[in-house]
Amino acid sequence: MRTTLARRIVTAGLRGFYRNRTVSLSSIFILTITLSIMTAFFIFHAIFNYTLEQVTEKVDVRIYFTTDATDSEINDVKARIVGLPEVKSVTLTTRDQALADFRDKHAGDQLTLQALDELGTNPFGASLSVVAKDTSQYQAIADQLSGDSGLLGGSQGSVDKINYYQLKDSIDKLNNIIGWTNTVGFWISLVFVLMSCMIVYNTIRLAIFVYRDEIAVMKLVGASNMFIRGPFIVEATLYALVATLITLIFYWPATIWVTKKTVFFFEGLNLHSYYVSHIFQLGGILLLSGIILSVISSLLAVRKYLNI
């Protein structure tokens, strides 16, 4: 009995989807626009995360050692810092490497290089570049590196200076920008989702308005509310399925075009490759969102004519 009812509902939904092609196309068109906006936010989120990651990777806390610091003292400090839960990575720059980097940076400045040669010794000490897992954790790392914490133990005397407090204002500004961007992005996304819901609902409500007489007749002959709702749920699911496929197909060449235009600007980020690698995840999100939007809109729109 239930299998027969389900088969009839699906058949009626497919028939209604095909019979009222104009209504179906208009609903699919609006839903496709909605899903396209969601996909655009998905891609913009990837771009934002990539850009943010590039910026945060350039932010670090540097620990400079005295020129007479021994390798054992430097390695001891490095081992202690690596063990901190806030630390993502620690990179060591040796004295020789620091000298080579300085020479490369001032390769065209003969006066500076001549003055360096006249010293007869390497004036640079080794340094550690400490990258935090999150930019908000640099303060905690700096506090633990201070002399009062006792973290560095007997190797404290080999540390010349820590540059965090010179960068503190820049790091605080970066944290504020990240927080502000996340908040604004959330509210913009919420506004677009609500607008999309209203548009989809009104479109499907107008589509169901065409069936108001049929619904009234079905009620008079004793059809159950589930039997009346069923075909509209099937149609709404088809709207979501077709709209999702159209959106995914549209963004395939679109991301190729955008990648060609931004390949030098976003060096290291290939939007098309990112899109392809996440297409099943994105497709699932779009399909689920489309089904939820269209089915709920259909149920609310039919409800009026069921007099519930």
Q: Which of 80-84, 220-224, 277-281 has the lowest mean pLDDT?
A: 220-224
- Read off the DSSP letter of residue 163: T
* 121-139 core/surface letters (b: 16 or more CB in 10 A; e: else): eeebbbbbebbbeebeebb
Record the pTM.
Answer: 0.65
The answer to whether residues 137 and 277 belong to one domain is: no
The answer to whether residues 96 and 26 belong to one domain is: no
Residue 246 has pLDDT above 90, yes or no: yes
Residue 306: which pLDDT band, with cuts at 50, 70 and 90? Answer: low
Residues 6+ apart with CB under 8 A from 149: 143
The answer to whether residues 259 and 157 belong to one domain is: no
The answer to whether residues 159 and 70 belong to one domain is: yes
* CATH for 119: 3.30.70.3040
* Domain termination site, one of 131, 165, 199: 165
- More confident position, 217 or 94: 94
The answer to whether residues 159 and 251 belong to one domain is: no
Residue 161: which pLDDT band, with cuts at 50, 70 and 90? Answer: confident
The answer to whether residues 161 and 202 belong to one domain is: no
Range of the domain at 20: 2-55+174-306
- Give the pLDDT confidence of 90-124 residue by residue, as tens digits: 888 888 888 888 888 877 777 777 877 777 788 88
* Domain termination site, one of 147, 165, 183: 165
Q: Which of 80-94, 121-135, 215-229, 288-302 has the lowest mean pLDDT?
A: 215-229
CA distance 163 to 167: 7
Q: Where are the beta strands (DSSP E) in 146-267?
A: 159-162
The answer to whether residues 198 and 155 belong to one domain is: no
The answer to whether residues 200 and 301 belong to one domain is: yes
What's the mean per-residue pLDDT of the chain? 78
Tokens 């509210």 belong to which residue?
A: 187
Residue 245 has pLDDT above 90, yes or no: yes
Quote the number of domains for the chain. Answer: 2
- Read off the DSSP letter of residue 133: S
Residue 248 has pLDDT above 50, yes or no: yes
* Domain termination site, one of 142, 165, 188: 165
Residue 308: which pLDDT band, with cuts at 50, 70 and 90? Answer: very low
The answer to whether residues 158 and 72 belong to one domain is: yes
The answer to whether residues 227 and 99 belong to one domain is: no
The answer to whether residues 11 and 47 belong to one domain is: yes
Contact between 167 and 59 (Cβ < 8 Å):
yes
The answer to whether residues 299 and 194 belong to one domain is: yes
Residues 6+ apart with CB under 8 A from 20: 207, 210
Q: Which of 197, 194, 175 is nearest to 186 (CA)?
A: 194
Cα-based angle 174, 175, 180 (whole degrees, multiple of 5): 100
